[in-house]
Amino acid sequence: LRSLLRNSSDASRVTRRGFASGSAPERKVAILGAAGGIGQPLSLLMKLNPLVSHLSLFDIAGTPGVAADVSHINTRSEVVGFMGDENLGKALEGADVVIIPAGVPRKPGMTRDDLFNINAGIVKSLCAGIAKYCPNALVNMISNPVNSTVPIAAEVFKKAGTYDEKRLFGVTTLDVVRAKTFYAGKANVNVAEVNVPVIGGHAGVTILPLFSQATPQANLPHDVIVALTKRTQDGGTEVVEAKAGKGSATLSMAYAGAIFADACLKGLNGVPDVVECSFVQSTVTELPFFASKVRLGKNGVEEVLGLGSLSDFEKEGLEKLKPELKSSIEKGIQFANQN
Ligand code: NAD
Ligand code: LMR
């Protein structure tokens, strides 16, 4: 965030001198669900990103206020709010990146899969809009259950004839953000220097942090690694319980969503070696979608990177997560093709 803020003040200086359009290509980012708990702080963070020239904020309610508010910030992008399904097309037209945090969040006692019945339909109709109005956009799926909403999106795009597996991403960055924070706390290292890949999916045991690959290395004892793994897997639930019925992670998710969208924009702009973990179409395991490190480029996914070497504990975790992840993927595919 510090670097986003620094960049944004650079961007505003540039804008005042009138060089903005020369400094970075025009890029339109659309946020669907922009007036929600994630949508609002994410809109703020994307407004601070100097790589964005047009910020399009869409929701079924509340977007005029959020857009008016965010638009007063003196950074590069022009902000427009769109409300109601009839305006989805205008919100999406010309978008390079579409971020989707639309849908209901968990309450205590619920799993992410309990959100399926409501969120699957929301995602399906928003993706039909993307296929129609901005079929080439990179889609950043935040809405839960990500393990199913990404396959739903893929099926909708296939049916519309617009599917490009390089352009569809489940956002799992919050798992990486959490793994980095929790690891730094235990390893007593500077959190800003920490890297931890997180693979699999985005729900409970399907979230598999690879602390054996964490840098800087700390040689933590096995029981600490087990506890860190569990805390990362339960990070979302920790927030849901602390919020006690008022929703799930919004601020840390907005931060994570902004990091991932920034990586997509950098990739589109040709910045080399942009690597983030994401839940994408994959051949890294036998499952059709899987989260792993991905190199981003001018067309979205440039390369899905392998898993690297895993500890015995991680190998066990990998085998354990496969049945649940497989059934969540199949549930999404089935929903998209039945309804
Ligand atoms: P929220 O209820 O605060 O906001 C959701 C917003 O979506 C609301 O403003 C609502 O009006 C809007 N919306 C509903 N239907 C819509 C539609 N058809 N088109 C456009 N907008 C629509 O919820 P939140 O806390 O922002 O969470 C949103 C989603 O993100 C949830 O599904 C949650 O589980 C998920 N989430 C994912 C991650 C992740 O790591 N991927 C992290 C946190 C939350
Ligand atoms: C998270 O990981 O915080 C999100 O997926 C929201 C949730 O329901 O836990």
Which of 140, 240, 243 to mutate for ligand 2's pocket (most ligand atoms within 8 Å of CB)? 240
Nearest to 93 by CA among 128, 141, 135: 135
Q: What is the DSSP letter of 195?
A: B
Separation of 19 CA from ligand 2 center, angstroms? 40
CA of 17 to the centre of ligand 2 (A): 42
- Compute the distance from residue 308 Cα to the ligand 1 centre, in Å: 33
AA identity, residue 123: V
Beta bridge mates, 264: none
Q: Using CA of residue 160, residue 165, residue 170, residue 171, what is the dihedral sign?
A: negative
- pTM of this prediction? 0.95
Binding site membership of 247 for ligand 1 (Cβ less than 6 Å): yes
Tell me how far apart the alpha carbons of residues 208 and 205 are, in angstroms, rounded to a whole number: 7
Closest residue by CA, ligand 2 atom 5: 236
Model pLDDT, residue 202: 98
Catalytic residues: 202
**Ligand 2 mutation pick, 104, 149, 174, 175, max ligand atoms within 8 A of CB:** 174
Distances, alpha carbon 304 to alpha carbons 125, 165, 182, 208, 284, in Å:
28, 11, 26, 17, 8
> Residues with beta carbon inside 6 Å of ligand 2?
105-106, 112, 144, 174, 235-236, 239-240, 248-249
How far does the chain reach from its first CA to its final CA, in angstroms?
Answer: 40
Contacts of 200 (CB under 8 A, 6+ apart): 206, 207, 208, 290, 291, 317, 318, 321, 325
pLDDT at 23: 74
Contact (Cβ atoms closer than 8 angstroms) between residue 252 and residue 174: yes
Which residue ranges are tagged as binding site for NAD(+)? 33-39, 59, 119, 142-144, 253
Q: Pick from 20, 140, 32, 123: which is nearest to 75 by CA?
A: 20
Please give the distance, rounded to the nearest whole angstrom, from the Cα atom of residue 249 to the centre of ligand 2: 6
pLDDT score for 339? 62
Side-chain half-sphere exposure of 136, counting CA atoms within 13 A: 8
Vertex 107: Cα angle to 104 and 109 (nearest 5): 135
- Please name the residues in contact with 109: beta carbons below 8 A apart, sequence gap of 6 or more: none
Provide, for the chain, the percentages of residues in helix, strand and coil under a 3-state DSSP scheme, each rounded to the nearest 5: 50, 15, 30
Instruction: Name residue, tokens 């008016």.
Output: 68
Look at ligand 2, atom 4, and give the residue with the nearest C-alpha: 236
Could you count the other beta carbons within 10 Å of the beta carbon of residue 217? 11
User: Is the Cβ–Cβ distance between 162 and 131 less than 8 Å?
Assistant: yes
Place of tokens 């997180």: 198
Tell me what pLDDT residue 232 has: 98
Q: Which residues are annotated as a binding site?
A: 33-39, 59, 106, 112, 119, 142-144, 178, 253
- Residue 297 pairs with which residues in a beta bridge? 300
> pLDDT tens per residue, the chain (339 residues)?
445 444 444 333 333 333 344 579 999 999 999 999 999 999 999 999 999 999 999 999 999 999 999 999 999 999 999 999 999 999 999 999 999 999 999 999 999 999 999 999 999 999 999 999 999 999 999 999 999 999 999 999 999 999 999 999 999 999 999 999 999 999 999 999 999 999 999 999 999 999 999 999 999 999 999 999 999 999 999 999 999 999 999 999 999 999 999 999 999 999 999 999 999 999 999 999 999 999 999 999 999 999 999 999 999 999 999 999 999 999 999 999 996
Residue owning the nearest CA to atom 1 of ligand 1: 36
Ligand nearest to the CA of 102: 1
